[in-house]
Amino acid sequence: MTVMRPDDQQQLIAQNQRLLQHLNTGRYNPAEIRQLLGELIGQHIASSVEVRLPFLTDFGGNIQLGQHIFINSNVMFADRGGIAVADYVIIGPSVCLLTVNPHQKAPIRLAKHAWLGAGALILPGVTIGHHAVVGAGAVVTKSVPPHTTVAGVPAKIVSQS
């Protein structure tokens, strides 16, 4: 990740917010959504990725998306600390991925085949393991091992396979 000067960073944030507003206020087909999202995050978005609008982010430049991903509507990517989404991830509606809080700035990683239920809140530094499931409304404060289901506030393991 490149370190930017504060003025350059503010300019990029303003530019990305204009792109985000454009994305969320128009009527677009899936290919157009991927094109605009690609401009916003600075990455080509695979045709196997589906994103439902609105899509929200506070920065946009620190998001990496794999292939065969589904992102439902009203998802928030607060990506100042970096967010990496691997292949075959499903993100439910109104999920919040927060990489920064007053005490911490750390990346979030979603491994292959992870599934985040509606309204889940993922906090800085968390990794969701492959084939892990986060229940709807869960607040995830710690990394989730592979093949594990977590639920609750704060999220606790409810099953492992």
Q: Which three-class secondary structure string do you get for 94-105?
A: CCEEECEECCEE
pLDDT in tens, 29-48: 999 999 999 999 999 999 99
The predicted pLDDT at position 10 comes to 81
The predicted pLDDT at position 94 comes to 98
Nearest to 90 by CA among 138, 51, 54, 62: 51
Q: Cβ distance 52 to 23 under 8 Å?
A: no
pLDDT in tens, 112-136: 999 999 999 999 999 999 999 999 9
pTM given for the model: 0.92
The predicted pLDDT at position 89 comes to 98
The C-alpha atoms of residue 1 and residue 60 are separated, in whole angstroms, by 13
Q: What residues are paired with 78 via a beta bridge?
A: 98
The predicted pLDDT at position 146 comes to 98
Residues of the chain with pLDDT under 70: 1-4, 6
Q: Which domains does the chain have, with CATH numbers?
A: 6-160 (2.160.10.10)
Which of 106-111's residues contact partners 24+ apart within 8 Å by CB, and which partners? 106/81, 107/81, 107/82, 107/83, 108/81, 108/82, 108/83, 108/84, 109/83, 109/84, 110/83, 110/84, 110/85, 110/86, 111/86, 111/146
Does residue 44 sit in helix, strand or coil? coil
Task: Scan for tokens 């969701």, then name that residue.
Answer: 128
The predicted pLDDT at position 8 comes to 72
The C-alpha atoms of residue 157 and residue 84 are separated, in whole angstroms, by 23
